[in-house]
Amino acid sequence: MEEKIKFLIDKLNNKHSLEQEEYKYLIESRSEEVADMLRTLAVQARKEIYGNSVYIRGLIEFSNICKNDCYYCGIRRGNKTCDRYRLTKEEIIETADEGYNLGFRTFVLQSGEDSYFTDDILVNIISSIKQNHPDCAITLSIGERDKESYKKLFDAGADRFLLRHETADKKHYEKLHPKEMSFEHRVQNLKDLKEIGYQVGCGFMVGSPYQSPETIAKDLKFIEEFSPKMCGIGPFIPHKATPFKNHTSGTAELTCYLLSIIRLIKPNILLPATTALGTIKEGGREQGILSGANVVMPNLSPVAVRKKYDLYDNKICTGEESAQCRSCLDKRIESIGYKIVIDRGDIKEGKF
């Protein structure tokens, strides 16, 4: 292996930081040998902190109605073929109860940007779930809102917030979104969330149209500097009714490579092996765990609506009952020597 690469990997492993140009070099120089080395170090780093525990998050996709029109997303408002739904408060609460009985101690409430869900309605839902299950964490993944709104939801009991930054390159951001959406606004939201006290997650799609080693290097530098508690990355997968329908998918190979790098940037980060990774490759989530991820987010949404939360083509687990998914994942994770634990799965803070 080239000396420069060895030096960069060593620096990343010890200093948890590289220059943007160095990240770019690491991405451009990837080979099986380099990937193996990063993977070995990433797994070692996560094992030191989390042992062989894998945390699960129960994903409740409660509405696919969205006022935004992101070019990559299957539930964008411009997709007139999308069969829209919205769960009632009672359905959301029942779904969380079912999840609790299956061993979930974190619920991720995810939706399109649906203005039906006002602060008052969400406060009511969040506080009811918290009242029923005080030992659980609630993660929100509901997109951009103003700071007061985020604060009200936090005060109602929401603990964490996932808002992928999507790309840390402004020009690239503008190629993925229509002009009413802005990179600055997204980043401001992330800062607001952190200031309020949420455990914040950012992230991006791997292989999104117009992505380059340079934009990925910016993503990695952004992650290093923003220091999120969680980071969601998964391959871009085209959806047949979006403007990006003819673009190629991201790969499991690059996604896993980046999972290893992100683990080394922030050894204690909560890093999911995403459903998109399991969709692009059979066994992709297991490969993600073996590359440094430590979280899986199975779907808890009622089976009747699962197919409708159609972000990209051929999404897996849309026909299975939650209990089936839970036991399927247990087996998958055990088959690679790890174990799903019944735990809120908070980040372990320390000297990292």
**Which of 113, 321, 330, 346 lies at the binding interface for ligand SAM (CB under 6 A)?**
113
Query: Which of the ranges 213-221, 307-315, 323-331, 344-352 carries the binding residues for ligand FES, by CB under 6 A?
Result: 323-331
Binding test (CB under 6 A) with ligand SAM, winner from 106, 110, 167, 287: 110
Please state, in angstroms and as integers, the Cα–Cα distance from residue 252 to each residue in 46, 184, 246, 263, 341, following that order. Answer: 20, 29, 19, 16, 25
Residue range at the interface with ligand SAM (CB under 6 A); choices 115-123, 177-185, 229-237, 326-334: 229-237
Structure tokens at 343: 């735990």
- For the CB of residue 65, give the shortest distance to ligand SAM in the complex, in Å: 10
Angle at 72 between CA 265 and CA 165, to 5 degrees: 30
For position 163 contacting ligand FES by CB under 6 A, the verdict is no
Q: Which of 91, 253, 313, 320 binds ligand FES (CB under 6 A)?
A: 320
- Rounded to an integer, what distance in angstroms lies between the CA atom of residue 294 and that of residue 333? 10
- Rank residues 56 and 220 by Cβ distance to ligand FES and give the closer one: 56
Cβ–Cβ < 8 Å for 249, 236? yes
Only segment of 149-157, 206-214, 231-239, 319-327 that touches ligand FES (CB under 6 A): 319-327
Of the pair 29, 318, the CB lying nearest ligand FES is at 318
Q: In which residue are the tokens 């997709």 written?
A: 79
Residue 317 found at the interface with ligand FES (CB under 6 A): yes
Among 50, 161, 183, 312, binds ligand SAM (CB under 6 A): 312
Least distance from C-beta 264 to ligand FES, angstroms? 27
Asked if 34 touches ligand FES (CB under 6 A), the answer is no
Is residue 328 a contact point for ligand FES (CB under 6 A)? yes
* Distance separating alpha carbons of residues 293 and 43, to the nearest angstrom: 8
CB of 282 to ligand SAM, least distance (A): 17
In the complex, what is the shortest distance from the CB of residue 301 to ligand SAM, in angstroms, rounded to a whole number? 13
Strand order across the beta sheet in which 199-206 lies: 58-63, 106-111, 137-141, 160-162, 199-206, 230-235
User: Could you tell me which stretch among 138-146, 291-299, 318-326, 344-352 binds ligand SAM (CB under 6 A)?
Assistant: 138-146
**Residues touching ligand FES, count (CB under 6 A):** 7
143-182 footprint of ligand SAM as x/- string (CB under 6 A)? x-------------------xx-x----------------
Using rule CB under 6 A, residue 299 touches ligand SAM: no
Which range of residues in 2-10, 107-115, 219-227, 285-293 is near ligand SAM by CB under 6 A? 107-115
Q: How far apart are CA 261 and CA 223, in angstroms?
A: 11
Contacting residues toward ligand SAM, per CB under 6 A: 72-73, 110, 112-113, 141-143, 163-164, 166, 205, 234, 236-237, 239, 276, 311-312
Contacting residues toward ligand FES, per CB under 6 A: 298, 317, 320, 324-325, 328-329
